[in-house]
Copies of this chain bind each other. A is one copy, B any other.
């Protein structure tokens, strides 16, 4: 008997047809309109990861959400724009009905041991298992059921019934996250988790506001050893907004391993209404 495939792996699965990758949106990762942005980011990264010309591991990924992605099939084209000795630059496009719905660029590199240091301090947080899991299935989009979220601060209470402890002048959220069901962390899963945070304006204004990410950037600090060490334990995510103005706000966030290693840093700019 074979294990049934994890829904995450099914969601990012791509088949190569004459140099284009064909995929399909997954009901497990549905958002209010189209798929959860994190699963799109993971799928675009996956296109490079499984490409025969790929060199090394991901260093950075920027995804631009150009239009809503409709539930159904899509095509991804990925091409190396430039390959150097140890770095490689990629251009990636996701299309539906011959229209571009998302674009991305990625930098991959063969990484080597160097001097290292982490300047940012890992925020203090009680262990995940001591915190209540965010209630699932209460009218929130499907993708939230594909994660287990445990909030230290800045939960979003409007629909969930969970207690909000966000300050009135802050959108900061600190939360444990893991795939549900649990799944060992890899680069696509880490990319998806970088988009796990509810739009900061929900937390700040304590209400739903129409909002959607237009551009997402991820810097990968984790190497294969860090991912292996992490396994399927929860990671700690910390997100906050910097400025909301004229229809857009930016969010910065960090993803820390269970034992306090900085795995990824990420930023995004988000459209909002009202």
Contact = CB atoms under 8 A, between A and B. Distances in A.
A66 B88 CA distance: 8
Contact of A64 (B64, B107, B254): B107
A3 to B, nearest CB: 32
B243 A262 contact: yes
Interface string A163-175: 0000001110000
A166 B26 CA distance: 49
B243 A120 contact: yes
Interface string A71-109: 000000000011010010101010000011101110101
Contact of A269 (B100, B107, B205): B107
A91 B103 contact: yes
Contacts of A67: 82, 84
A221 B250 contact: yes
A272 B60 CA distance: 15
A249 B257 CA distance: 18
Interface string A239-274: 011111111101010100000001001010101111
Interface in A104-130: 104-105, 107, 109, 111-120
Given A82-B67, A267-B267, A214 B60 contact: yes
Given A67-B84, A265-B243, A248 B109 contact: yes
Contacts of A245: 114, 116, 118, 221, 223
Contacts of A109: 214, 247-248, 271
A48 interface: no
A215 interface: yes
A219 interface: yes
A43 interface: no
B82 A89 contact: no
A67 B64 CA distance: 22
Given A81-B100, A105-B105, A248-B109, A274 B62 contact: no
The CB with the most chain B CB atoms within 10 A, among A119, A215, A240, A254, is that of A119
A60 B66 CA distance: 12
Q: Which 10 A-B pairs have the closest CB atoms?
A: A66-B82, A111-B246, A66-B89, A62-B62, A60-B215, A219-B250, A120-B242, A217-B217, A118-B243, A81-B100
Interface of A: 59-60, 62, 64, 66-67, 81-82, 84, 87, 89, 91, 93, 99-101, 103-105, 107, 109, 111-120, 169-171, 204-205, 214-215, 217, 219, 221, 223, 240-248, 250, 252, 254, 262, 265, 267, 269, 271-274
Given A62-B217, A114-B247, 17 more contacts: A59-B248, A60-B64, A91-B103, A111-B246, A111-B248, A112-B246, A112-B247, A114-B273, A117-B204, A118-B244, A118-B245, A119-B171, A219-B267, A219-B269, A223-B246, A250-B265, A252-B267
